[in-house]
Amino acid sequence: MPTLTVELGERSYPLYIQAGILNDAGFLLSEIKASHVIIVSNTVVAPLYLSEVEQKLLASGKRVNSIIVKDGEQEKTLATFERVLSELLSLPASRDACLIALGGGVIGDLTGFVAACYQRGIDFVQIPTTLLSQVDSSVGGKTAVNHPLGKNMIGAFYQPKAVYIDTTTLRTLDKREFSAGMAEVIKYGIIYDAEFLAWLNNNTQAILSKQDDALSKMIARCCEIKAEIVAQDERESGLRALLNLGHTFGHAIEAEQGYGTWLHGEAVSAGMVLALQLANMRGDISLAQVSEISDLLQAFDLPTSGPASMKAADYIKHMRRDKKVLNNQMRFILPKRIGKAELVNDVTEAELEQLLN
C-alpha cells in the first residue's frame, strides 16, 4: 500500500516511503506498466543504484535503456534537455514508454520536463535519492530547466505516475547535500506546521545521525504537507506559492553566483532568513523567532546570510524576473507567525534595500 496519495482526480498518484524499497521488485514494478523503460540518472547516482534498478526491471521482462548526464545544477539546461530528447529519438522510444528519474532534484526536474514534452507527453516515475528531492521536488509535478536569466523559467506542470522514496539512499548522500535538503524540511514547519518545527528542534541529533525511523517520519510529514497543498492548488495559483518561502531571495543568489556554486537548499536557507527578517521589519515575526530558526538552520550547517559580495541591486535585478512577479509587482512569501505564511505583494524596493544593504 502507498504511504500517501497525491489526490488530483484522474492524475492522482501514490508515494511509497520505505527503507530498502529499491530492493523490493514488487513495489518497484507496481506502477510501471510500460514494456520499455528508460532510466535517466547522473554520474554520481548511477554507479550506486542504476544496476540494481535495471536488473529488477530486466528480470520482469521489460526492455531497459539508460541515459546518464553529468552531475550538478549546471546540467539543468536546454542543451541537456535536448540531448536527452535526442537519445530517446535515437532508441527509438515510443509514446507508451516510461521514464524513470533516478537521482536528485536536477534529474527529477529534467526527466519530468522531457516526459512532458516527448511526443506530447509520456509516463514517468520518480526515484529521488537526495533529501531535497525526497521531501520537495519529486512531489507535485513541477518540471523545468534553468536559463541564464532565471532558475526554472522553462518548464511545465506534469505529474509523475508514482514516487518511490528509499530512505537508505540518504546513507550515501554527502553531508553538504543532506544539509541542503534540510532547508526545505525546515521550510514546511515555518509555513505550515509549528509542531513539526518543534519536533525538528527536538530530534536534530537523530536526523543528523540518519536514523531510519526519524528520517521516515520527517520525510513522510513533509510529503504529507506538500501533497495536501498540491491537491488544493496544483498549478500554483495561490496556496502552493507558500512552498516558495525563501526562494525569491534564494533563486537570486543562485543566478548571481552561477548555478551550482551555492546548492539550492543553501540558497533557500539564506533566503528564508532574509524573508524572516523582512517579516520582522514588518512587525509579524519576533527577533527571538528569527534567531531560533537561524539556530536550527545552523545546527544543520546551513548558511543564514547571503554572499557578502551581493548588494541589494544584485538581488533586485534577479527578483524582478521571479515567476511570482505579477503586473510588474514583486511578490514575497512571508511568515505571519510560525506555522502560517502569506503571499505579500506590497513590499517596496526601499524595504528591500534597507534589508539587503
Strand spans (E) along the chain: 4-6, 13-17, 36-42, 63-69, 98-103, 123-128, 142-147, 150-157, 163-165, 332-337, 340-344
Dihedral angle at the C-alpha atoms of 66, 72, 77, 79, nearest 10 degrees? -50
Beta bridge partner(s), residue 145: 154
> What residue type is assigned to position 131 of the chain?
L
Domain 4-172 indexed as CATH 3.40.50.1970: yes
> 125 forms bridges with which residues in the sheet?
100
28 has pLDDT over 90: no
Residues of the chain with CATH 1.20.1090.10: 175-356
Mean pLDDT of the chain: 94
Fold adopted by 175-356? Dehydroquinate synthase-like, alpha domain (1.20.1090)
Cell numbers at 171, concatenated: 546513507
Contacts of 40 (CB under 8 A, 6+ apart): 66, 67, 68, 69, 84, 99, 100, 101, 102, 103, 107, 110, 111, 114
pLDDT of residue 299: 98
Candidate from 204-208, 235-239, 252-256, 335-339 with smallest mean pLDDT:
235-239
Name the DSSP class of 137: I
* CB 168, CB 20: distance < 8 Å: yes
Q: How many residues does the chain have?
A: 357
pLDDT tens figures, 50-64: 999 999 999 999 999
**pLDDT confidence of residue 270:** 98
- Cα–Cα distance, 169 to 53 (Å, whole number): 13
Catalytic residues: 120, 142, 184, 226, 236, 240, 244, 247, 251, 264
Q: Quote the DSSP letter at residue 160.
A: -
What does the alpha-carbon distance between residue 113 and residue 76 come to, in Å, rounded to a whole number?
A: 11
What is the torsion angle, in degrees rounded to the nearest 10, for the CA atoms of residue 137, residue 124, residue 21 and residue 198? 20
Nearest 5°: the CA angle 280, 271, 179 is 120
Hey, what's the cell of 345? Answer: 505583494
pLDDT, tens digit (0-9, with 9 covering 90-100), for 254-266? 999 998 899 999 9
Q: What is the average per-residue pLDDT within 175-191? A: 97
At residue 3 the predicted structure's pLDDT band, cuts being 50, 70 and 90, is confident
Contact 252, 261 (CB under 8 A): no
DSSP-derived letter for residue 61 is T
Averaged pLDDT, 66-87: 97
Query: In this predicted structure, what is the pLDDT of residue 25?
Result: 80
CA distances from 128 to 105, 205, 289 (A): 7, 23, 32
Q: Which residues of the chain are in CATH 3.40.50.1970 domains? A: 4-172
Neighbours of 272 (CB within 10 A): 29
